Structure 1
């Protein structure tokens, strides 16, 4: 805060401001120059973005499938349909004598699945442990456990870190990254698709597993122990598992008494005087412990239990003589629905289905084809599949078979009705004996569209670059200072800035040389053996520059001439665009343009950087740093100049004040 003019009566503050306006004029010029450099940098980066997008399009156009678009037709779509990939050979096929279509093996079980005989109902959601299931399942006791190991470094031997109660192959499931491995009990039986498992929980594979692979092991433990925390306010506790069979509990050092059978089991505690009190109940089906009201117990409740479980397996033969098989664990409270979901969600290659109307089940191979010439495609084991689901007396309603047909006079087979040959994918729809022709030919229209798209994108780039290099320069319109901006409306500021920014890249050597090089790239003939002399330049296939030189070399297309070239010699047209010879004259148009665009982008990046660049990484940024330092030094100098002005005016005020005091003294003396 400064207050001046008390003695002189002058507006010192305004006088200093006016003096500083003149002093700040060089600073305003510096800031205007800096603003122009920033605008120029932004314009360069805008051109860089345009070229980056164009280069991305050129990258796509380097691939031959853009010039080898194909179309396919079938003489009878009801019998054979076909699709074709870009780049497929242009050829014709004759399919006849389709004696068989590929089919997947389907097995129907031997009768109705009676899971709940109450009132004659067939309930697919009933618990399998229900005693009404007929025939009853021979349940085993144990706990189904699962453990996952992540492979830290490649190797063959891994440990679960704990013992397992059984190494029976039927009670172990080992998967690596979702692929099932057959469990063997002798290390001499190891193959690439098997795993040797020891009782101490060691797994040994035949070959190294890759780093970060995931090993998932399902196995059976004798029992499981959980420790639950009881507080005075506890009313119920939930165990992790359900469908429990044998259960023991300890509260502290006291052994609790549990009813041995039934779904709802009483939990009793023996007191010091020998009396027994009921403290709660256990629901063996759900694993829920409910405490009686008024029981205020605090401490750890240790629960040890096992479950009802059984196993079954389903497998299928695959290509190359391999077998895919998987063991499934079933708990007592599982239903037929949940069992079906487990099988269908696996990678075993088979699916289960239950039909509400017939009350029967089917097992169907997920892939068509005959992969086991000596027998069935699928196999299964386990009382659940054989007895309860009644597949023991099943029948094969549809055999797994290959499609048998003749193509171009050659009798052959395929495991699927869909097969691919030379880039053409055929679909056999029915059996027939007569001949059906399938022709794969050039899709000239698609190739034409791809070339037109390239020309349009090139013209779009040229238009934007040309507009920047030919912009008018309005020298009277310099960047606005803060004070000048305050005196204008937003619209006036916008119009002023538009003219001030104009022409910052006018006749820019980087952009103009890039345009010149691109025009040369397009006009130069491609001298390569793969390009016919009839179509070795863009002009010869109907692509020329416009007659208006002001457009900067935009391209125009003679559609009839271009289509004729594509029809007559598609290979030459392809080579014209993407020939990859060693010399510049041997390179196709796309490769030339790509190199020119890439070089121009590199020059722009050296000049103006990109949004990730620091100022020291490009030349305009270094200029900006220099300008910022000059501006900072000048602003420090202006502070000193302003202080000097105030010091001078303050000295003047003091001198006037002393003169006034002397005058008043003399007037009093002579009065």
Structure 2
């Protein structure tokens, strides 16, 4: 009769023996798999941190790339009832007395009133002209005032006329107004009847009423008259846009423009902070702990070494400026032996106050400015298909290979377990049979005549 339980014949713990033998080969290999996977995960995490810090660094650089934030102006208006103001980097510091005599307004005309706005008013066309631009709208016999307004507003070649229907105690009438203000933008309406005189009776010469004359804005800047078609007055003062909101020639508003040194310094400080944060992250992910004798995830990595080298090189680099060349240390930014930047506040404040152009040239000159160079370097890492994405793809491929290797090794260990179990079970069966034979032989020998069982 065959044995059905392992180890019964031999008395050995076959399952444990097989497990020990398989583990002797399995455990070291799995440890290698686990260690490799942990290493890849740590590198992937470090690469993600690097990408995040580079993106933050780019955000800080964007404020310095064009120079606009390095030439910021503080604008104050004595009475904002009459105007507000914005500036660009070309605006010069100064104070201006401004009076607003009148605001620019658009031209507005209306046709004759009719009793029922839903009825057709005639058949033909209405021709419009605004500052040399013309368009025409065909009017059907059944078109109401609202239908005509809709056609005018929807005309693809409409250069800037808006039609609305206004209903008052006198009736309903169609009102045409120009989208742009100023005397140059007056709307002309010509009625053309194809049957009857309905359109001409409402929109023809003598039947149109001017509701609002076109008017230019008129202001005085330090006593000098400035006329504008719009209430947005540009370049009357270099680099300044005035937005007029009310008029009173008897009231004077003072406009004051100053260089915003605090804002400039804050943007430079943001650059330094972002650089140091990036440098700290690089150091953390590439260092070696001599006490614990452990290496960081990207310690010795060629990509990290290259990035760190390029960053340090740019920090000490001199770049062309308007009056020669300059470097970060010329405006009070210096690097220590660990690669971290610090700001000499007194020196930076002095340069910003006395030579803002040199600061702007240092950072924002196209191509050669440090902000543009740093941004280009960072972009080579974080852009799609850049160095970081390429490295992440390589890590993904490594992980996939380890997954395949682990699956193949697991199958191998399953096969080894099955083979050893089969061999030990076969041995166990033979030992059991031998034990049975031995026991039977002893019994037969003891039953022979003259045999004496010893106690």
Is residue 15 of structure 2 the alignment partner of residue 39 of structure 1? no
Is residue 213 of structure 2 the alignment partner of residue 427 of structure 1? no
- Give CA deviations for 1:512-562 in whole Å, capped at 9, x if unaligned: 553354234223444x351577xx33334333346xx6xx43333344432
- Larger proportion of strand: 1
- Distance between the aligned counterparts of 1:570 and 1:108, measured in 2? 55
Q: Describe the shift of the 1:642–1:340 C-alpha distance in structure 2 as closer, same or farther (beyond 3 A).
A: same
Deviation at 1:69, TM superposition (A): 1.8
- Give CA deviations for 1:606-638 in whole Å, capped at 9, x if unaligned: 587355x3xxxx3x5565566556545544443
Is residue 352 of structure 2 the alignment partner of residue 351 of structure 1? no
Deviation at 1:651, TM superposition (A): 2.0
Q: Describe the shift of the 1:607–1:434 C-alpha distance in structure 2 as closer, same or farther (beyond 3 A).
A: closer
SS class of match (1:446): helix
Is residue 437 of structure 2 the alignment partner of residue 662 of structure 1? yes
Normalising to structure 2: TM-score of the pair?
Answer: 0.76
Residues 362 and 369, structure 2, Cα contact 8 Å, conserved in 1 = yes
Corresponding residue of 2:188? 378
- Give CA deviations for 1:341-386 in whole Å, capped at 9, x if unaligned: 55456545133241444535343223212237xxx62314266655
Corresponding residue of 1:128? 119
Corresponding residue of 1:650? 425
Pairwise mapping of residues 587-602 of structure 1 onto structure 2 (< 5 A)?
587-598=368-379
Corresponding residue of 2:350? 564
Residues 125 and 136, structure 2, Cα contact 8 Å, conserved in 1 = no
Deviation at 1:569, TM superposition (A): 1.0
Pairwise mapping of residues 340-489 of structure 1 onto structure 2 (< 5 A)?
340=149, 343-344=152-153, 347=158, 348-361=160-173, 362-371=175-184, 377-381=187-191, 386-387=200-201, 393-403=207-217, 413-421=227-235, 422-428=238-244, 429-430=246-247, 432=249, 438=255, 440-470=257-287, 472=289
Deviation at 1:114, TM superposition (A): 1.0
- Give CA deviations for 1:476-517 in whole Å, capped at 9, x if unaligned: 9xxxxxxxxxxxxxxxxxxxxxxx9x7323465543553354
- Distance between the aligned counterparts of 1:8 and 1:331, measured in 2? 110
SS class of match (1:658): helix
Is residue 44 of structure 2 the alignment partner of residue 55 of structure 1? no
Is residue 104 of structure 2 the alignment partner of residue 106 of structure 1? no
Is residue 24 of structure 2 the alignment partner of residue 22 of structure 1? yes
Is residue 116 of structure 2 the alignment partner of residue 323 of structure 1? no
- Larger proportion of helix: 2
- Distance between the aligned counterparts of 1:512 and 1:637, measured in 2? 41
- Distance between the aligned counterparts of 1:406 and 1:325, measured in 2? 40
Pairwise mapping of residues 477-556 of structure 1 onto structure 2 (< 5 A)?
503-506=296-299, 508=301, 510-512=303-305, 514-526=307-319, 528-531=320-323, 536-545=326-335, 552-556=338-342
Q: Describe the shift of the 1:608–1:81 C-alpha distance in structure 2 as closer, same or farther (beyond 3 A).
A: closer
SS class of match (1:430): coil
- Distance between the aligned counterparts of 2:353 and 2:100, measured in 1? 34
Q: Describe the shift of the 1:606–1:70 C-alpha distance in structure 2 as closer, same or farther (beyond 3 A).
A: closer
SS class of match (2:358): helix
Residues 111 and 202, structure 2, Cα contact 8 Å, conserved in 1 = no
Residues 67 and 363, structure 2, Cα contact 8 Å, conserved in 1 = no
Q: Describe the shift of the 1:96–1:52 C-alpha distance in structure 2 as closer, same or farther (beyond 3 A).
A: closer
Normalising to structure 1: TM-score of the pair?
Answer: 0.54
Deviation at 1:314, TM superposition (A): 5.6
- Distance between the aligned counterparts of 1:98 and 1:637, measured in 2? 90
Q: Describe the shift of the 1:96–1:553 C-alpha distance in structure 2 as closer, same or farther (beyond 3 A).
A: closer
Q: Describe the shift of the 1:54–1:385 C-alpha distance in structure 2 as closer, same or farther (beyond 3 A).
A: farther
What's the RMSD between the two structures over aligned residues? 4.1
Q: Describe the shift of the 1:394–1:52 C-alpha distance in structure 2 as closer, same or farther (beyond 3 A).
A: closer
User: Any unmatched runs of 5+ in structure 2?
Assistant: 448-455
Greater shift, 342-351 or 427-436, is seen at 427-436
Corresponding residue of 1:153? none
- Distance between the aligned counterparts of 2:32 and 2:141, measured in 1? 82
User: Any unmatched runs of 5+ in structure 1?
Assistant: 116-123, 130-136, 139-309, 477-499, 582-586
Residues 99 and 432, structure 1, Cα contact 8 Å, conserved in 2 = yes
Residues 101 and 403, structure 1, Cα contact 8 Å, conserved in 2 = yes
Corresponding residue of 1:288? none
SS class of match (1:662): helix
